[in-house]
Structure 1
Amino acid sequence: MDFCKDSSAGYLANHMARLFALGLAERIRPLGLTPGQFPALLELWEKDGQSQKDLVAKLDVEQATLANTLARMERDALILRRPHPGDGRVQQIWLTEKARALRTPALEAAMETNAHALGAMNAREQAEFLRLMRLAIAALRGERG
């Protein structure tokens, strides 16, 4: 069996993800953000006050990885952790005013990165590309159970 990285979906997806992360990093660095924080911020901008367990499930990351990311975000005054009012064992993650104020410029940076990456495709190709990416993601999630 021959392996060719140029026809490997996994290799190409990983390579593209690294390039997306580099492009995003350049654009959000002036905001004091990193690409590692961005997925958690996206989820919290959508729905603030989630538990760490909920974020782990939504982001498809390991609990320890998210714990480290959240610790850095707390250090950087982007989030606050508070006990859940109904269950003191659960910590809710809340955005600070600083993090809420970064939403618009950070999302603009992400949209610029996307536009740059997909700029060689027409609108129909972009829609099909995104559809196929979602299909592959769903298949991989299903494999994990």
Structure 2
Amino acid sequence: MTFQKSESAGYLTNHMARLFANGLQRRIQPLGLAPAQFMTLLELWDEDGLTQKQLLERLDVEQATMANTLRRMERDGWIVRRPHPDDGRAHQAWLTPKARAVRDAATDAADAQNGVALTDLSDEERATFLDLMRRVIHAMQVWEGKEAR
């Protein structure tokens, strides 16, 4: 049997993710945000003061990538980093007023991108699609030993 792109979950997921990311980037760029910054802000909007290690675990990115993202975010005024009070090696990332002020516009942009992407699905199909995506993500996390998130 020959490999068929149209039948490959990995290929289709990667293609879909690129399209989502490109659309999101166009929508949040006027806010001064890049997609990696937006993903980090989503975590910090949920829980301000996370450490780099906690962000690594939640976003499942490489340490160097997260370090660069946080450095750029601090430079651009989205976060401030302060030493962790209980761990001298760790720093916490705290949102700035600038980051808090852009939350609604940024999440509205993401909602708009999701709306475009899912426009041809019924409400029931959307719910099923999202449930299936969560299940596949969970299966991949279990396989990689990262299910405790």
For Structure 1 versus Structure 2, the TM-score category normalised by the shorter chain is over 0.9
Q: Equivalent residue for 1:99? A: 99
Instruction: Give the letter aligned to residue 91 of structure 1.
Output: H
* TM-score (ref. length: structure 2): 0.95
Return 5+ residue gaps in structure 2 as ranges. none
Amino acid at match of 1:144: E
Report deviation, 1:67: 0.7
1:46 corresponds to which letter in structure 2?
D
Residue type of the partner of 2:131? R
Structure 1 runs, 4 residues or longer, greater than 4 Å off: none
Aligned residues: percent identity?
60
CA offsets, 1:85-112, max 9 Å, x none?
Answer: 1222110011111011110000000000
| Aligned equivalent of 2:40 | 40
* 2:6 maps to amino acid: D
Mapped partners of 2:63, 2:42: distance in 1: 17
* Aligned residue number for residue 11 of structure 2: 11
**1:140 is aligned to 2:144:** no
Whether 1:127 and 2:127 are equivalent positions in the alignment is yes
Q: What is the Cα deviation at residue 118 of structure 1?
A: 0.1
d(CA) in 1 for partners of 2:120, 2:46: 30
Residue 74 of structure 2 aligns with an amino acid whose one-letter code is: E
1:64 correspondence with 2:64: yes
- CA deviations on 1:27-66 (whole Å, 9 max, x unpaired) are 1011000112111110000000000000100111111111
SS of residue paired to 1:61:
coil
Q: Counterparts of 1:98 and 1:87 in 2: how far apart (Å)?
A: 27
Counterpart residue identity of residue 124, structure 1: E
Residue 100 of structure 1 aligns with an amino acid whose one-letter code is R
What is the one-letter code of the residue matched to 1:2?
T
1:22 aligned onto 2:29: no
Question: Which amino acid in the other structure matches residue 136 of structure 1?
Answer: V
Cα distance in 2 for partners of 1:91, 1:50 equals: 8
Counterpart-to-counterpart distance in 2, 1:9 and 1:63 = 27
Q: Which runs of 5+ in 1 are unaligned?
A: none
Alpha-carbon distance in 2 for matches of 1:89, 1:115: 42
Q: Aligned-pair RMSD on alpha carbons?
A: 0.7
Query: How many residues matched?
Result: 145
